[in-house]
Amino acid sequence: MAHIDPLTTHYSVAIVGGGQAGLSLSVYLQQRGISHLVLEKNKLVHSWRSQRWDSFCLVTPNWQCNLPGWSYAGDDPHGFMVKDQINAWLEGFVAHVDAPALEGVSVHKIARPHSHKPFSVTTSQGDFTADQVVVASGGYHKPIVPRLAERLPAHITQMHSAEYRNPQALPEGAVLVVGCGQSGSQIAEDLHLAGRKVFVATGDAPRCARFYRGKDVVDWLADMDYYKLPVTQHPLREGVRDNTNHYVTGRDGGRDIDLRRFALEGMELYGLLTDLQGDTLQFQPNLQAHLDHADGIYNGINASIDKYIATHAIDAPPGGPYVPVWQPAEERTTLDLAASGITTVVWCIGFLPDFAWVDAPVFNGRGEPVHVRGVTHQPGLYFLGLPWLHTWGSGRFSGVAQDALYLAEQIEAHMGNQDMSADTAETELLLS
């Protein structure tokens, strides 16, 4: 990391968060000669080391890994890096950026006492000030664990998906995975492939094909310019930010995740988990609806690819809709913990944002920042690295560079405006 003068407490820009977003912005600020400081409460890019399970791999192909000046340069652009490879690539990026950063520093509060004064940045290692602040800490702060968890028997091990590492680390016995988004479906698969008895409480997560008509679906969607679509043009507008990610995997070269096929192989599927009465779990009778919804999204994406192929007269292998390989014989709404042999519950129902430390009137009723491409209506305050900040890739390796460049331009323009305002004020003072 670049040398930091310990006596300097004021910077033009403070960046809170040292993940790929904060470091990407640092690249563009360095290019512009703008003084800045990156504050990271753990280690730079730590979440990829500390919050991923052992068999974790990318679900998007390697060619989409495109950080500023640090694109994927390996020999498998259409493959999917596994955890160790991802971390090695990111460590290279950290060295490439050489950001002015402080690690192990928690930011307790950001506030601006007056619109004409700098932001105050209160941290675990002292106070700083900054003319502008970028919150690049992501949107996944507080693991979601329902209050129902408090009533589970004490002998049952519980963990959030961020804590899961591998099947061998869990007690012997069956495992209940709650949630079937990207993390839930992949953890369920990891346990299933290890020979563990797995129960899954499903939700309404969508899924997509890995490969279709001769190419990775991601390649097709890139050809169709889907990844260039800004949130302002998406049919759901800002509502798309609430969508659950489609489940699919890059494991072993990439494949679909089909819960129906797992059910044929012994995995037990249920609808939405709603309650616990004694030792009996309660579920809604909506497993069929969840499976059908996921398959409907799957087929809908493939149909859009079919249309693109036909419109452009592309020579591609034939396609067709997915046909379910399994149907639930009944909607089971209860599950006895003792009889099922469940000894572990893995909560895979996501995270909540926590921006309570940002003292600024820029949040909606759910505590989410209101912004346009990361720019808030509070001059000098920005957000970076959030899902669908601007495009699908905003919270990923593929789109964060574009967002960081845009914010660097906004920051530079704001500095120019401040300078002009200062010059005007000085002129008026001299003329008065």
pLDDT 10s digits, 321-380: 999 999 999 999 999 999 999 999 999 999 989 999 999 999 999 899 999 999 999 999
- For 395-404, the pLDDT digits (tens) are 899 999 999 9
Residues 27 and 136 both lie in one domain: yes
Residues 334 and 227 both lie in one domain: yes
Distance from C-alpha of 100 to C-alpha of 30, rounded to nearest angstrom: 9
Other Cβ atoms within 10 Å of 358 Cβ, number: 23
Mean pLDDT of 160-166: 96
DSSP strand pairing (198-201 vs 174-178): parallel
* pLDDT at residue 314 tops 50: yes
pLDDT at 420: 55
Using alpha carbons, select from 169, 170, 167, 203 the residue that is nearest to residue 184. 203
pLDDT at 430: 43
Chosen domain end from 350, 366, 392: 350
* pLDDT at residue 220 tops 80: yes
Residue 309 tokens read as 């192929």
Residue 3 domain flag: no
Residues 183 and 311 both lie in one domain: yes
Residue 212 tokens read as 């279709």
* pLDDT at residue 295 tops 90: yes
Residues 137 and 151 both lie in one domain: no
Mean pLDDT of 253-258: 97
Residues 160 and 282 both lie in one domain: yes
- CATH number assigned to the domain comprising residue 392: 3.50.50.60
pLDDT at 139: 83
* pLDDT at residue 69 tops 60: yes
Residue 362 domain flag: yes
Mean pLDDT of 270-289: 97
- For 368-390, the pLDDT digits (tens) are 999 999 999 999 999 999 999 99
Mean pLDDT of 156-178: 97
Q: Please, which pLDDT band fits residue 244 given cuts at 50, 70 and 90?
A: confident
Task: For residue 87, give Cα distances in angstroms to 45, 54, 56, 61, 333.
Answer: 8, 12, 11, 16, 42
Least trusted range by pLDDT, from 114-118, 212-216, 329-333: 114-118
pLDDT at 243: 81
Residues 39 and 159 both lie in one domain: no
pLDDT at 279: 94
Q: Which domain holds residue 239?
A: 143-350
Residues 158 and 92 both lie in one domain: no
Residue 134 tokens read as 């970028």
Mean pLDDT of 78-89: 97
Mean pLDDT of the chain: 94
- For 16-41, the pLDDT digits (tens) are 999 999 999 999 999 999 999 999 99
Residues 301 and 211 both lie in one domain: yes
Using alpha carbons, select from 93, 100, 108, 85 the residue that is nearest to residue 358. 108
* pLDDT at residue 78 tops 70: yes
